[in-house]
A and B are shown apart, each in its own frame.
Chain A
């Protein structure tokens, strides 16, 4: 199996060896996907996939489109039930646990969330307290305090009385993160938290995540598109391709030319990030890539025409 072969070469978490007892593994890390098969209806996305989220890590899952990274996150947060295998939270099968109990341990920032019409920031963040509340305990002093703290630590406290519809994309994402924080879970999963944000707000959100990880000691799991962001912020990186783990470990240990080629099918150069010293992926120049593609015998004719449209597409994208 390619995935295993690549993994064996890399220094990885010692607990992933297959002989380790399942219960023992669960006792080591709080959130574990154990031999899961994932899919929608008849379409299988991943088969016999095993992943462990190291406690107190900022784990980032990367991979090409449709590699199953969001699907894996959905399974870890029990929104998707594996058709085989199981997801364990603190050693218990996550589906068998009471929903509110899971929600007090495991928070989630989904990709698709709808802000109800006419809701204020304060009210939206307050809804994060739901798993701690009941019919007779709807709004304790503790709830109020934690909602205030969550808004303060995400920098949206001064927006508390504003309507969510009026906010910019970056502010809105902070509000949703504040809601997930108000849940006060030791584990927090984030599904592409930086999508649709401009670069400044992407960094803003990632800095916030790093703060949550470093200062509050939470375990974070995020799906990210940008490999360089992942390499810069993650303490533990999981690279997925076609529903299989290609490699996992600290970014400085595993991000190599081979990994990028195996995972994304792209030639690149890895240099040290001048700011942080973490690996920085620089895609190979188009001519180099085309040459290597030609070497593989699949270069198409009319490359010049393709180039022209590509460039036009890129500038159109940049303009929007």
Chain B
């Protein structure tokens, strides 16, 4: 911890280790992005990628990079960041690492919305994204209403989420059996979570949303940190308890739903990113910024890994994050069990 004070009476507290972690994660995300842009059927050396991104490339590379690969990578970065931040907020509010959007069924809710558009209406890509967004928001609202009773108790929150998740999964199964083979194939691809074919159309809405929500969330980071000590301590310290929770929950649901609408339900980033970030910073508190950059880095690295191992557009990124996240979840369950919290 380092105190920074100005003569004008401004003062800030900087956790040096956290700052270093954030810086390293940003660099890692950028490096991974550049490498990922160079990766694909048509390999482009890193130096050329950097030159083209700076606006000095040749026409052919410019087309491949700026029109095809850059938007895909940007969608990946934004989706990862949104999932990491949303997950950190959820875990902090529920005071439980399992209180993540993945476990609570927000992804399932978005999937239901998307499936309804695909199966029942044969909707366009934009309509499917819209359906996913609405599905996620409705699920988030349902969990909010069902789990709220004089504050959140971590366990109750997780259990309600699992219940909602089970219900929505059943609905999704029903929708899939009703679908004809073409729609079903499309639905399954969507459900795995993939960055294939994402272009600037997906970048802009996500970017605007993040530009609004990230600063909003950051202004509530301090009250959120106080709430981790319990609602009573929150009240004692003068935190606007209910308002903080509603604003943050709303933001987290929006971030998660928008990320899912753009890339499908990429599993386990929201669960793992905050936990990994926390283990790096070794700092209590919600670790919002580290979780956000960890999410972005994780998603880009996972996408790169899936492309390297199985060739471009072969394996959706959701499979890789699912495998890694599943292993991580098991490990977390074992650790938590030892600590006596589950």
Contact = CB atoms under 8 A, between A and B. Distances in A.
A195 to B, nearest CB: 14
Given A110-B232, A116-B229, A137-B9, A183 B284 contact: no
A238 to B, nearest CB: 21
Nearest to B231: A79
A140 to B, nearest CB: 5
Interface string A123-145: 11001101101011111110110
Interface in A94-126: 98-104, 107-119, 123-124
Interface stretch (B108-116, B233-241, B314-322): B233-241
B3 A144 contact: yes
Contacts of B43: none
B95 interface: yes
B239 A140 contact: no
Nearest to A111: B232
A77 B237 contact: no
A138 B219 CA distance: 12
A103 B219 contact: no
Nearest to A133: B222
A78 B230 contact: no
Contact of B230 (A40, A112, A135, A138): A112
A101 B238 contact: yes
Contact of B232 (A104, A108, A116, A128): A108
Contacts of B229: 113-116, 124, 127
A78 B233 contact: no
B174 interface: no
A78 B3 CA distance: 33
Contacts of B240: 99
Contacts of A144: 3
A77 B238 contact: no
A112 B232 contact: yes
A290 B282 CA distance: 59
Contact of A180 (B13, B231, B236, B238): B236
B11 interface: yes
B9 A103 contact: no
Which among A77, A100, A116, A180 has the highest number of chain B CB atoms within 10 Å?
A116
B3 A77 contact: no
B233 to A, nearest CB: 5
A78 B285 contact: no
Contacts of A79: 231-232, 235
Contacts of A100: 238
B5 interface: yes
Contacts of A140: 5, 9, 11
A180 B3 CA distance: 22
Given A114-B230, A137-B11, 9 more contacts: A103-B237, A110-B232, A110-B236, A116-B228, A123-B1, A138-B11, A138-B13, A139-B13, A183-B236
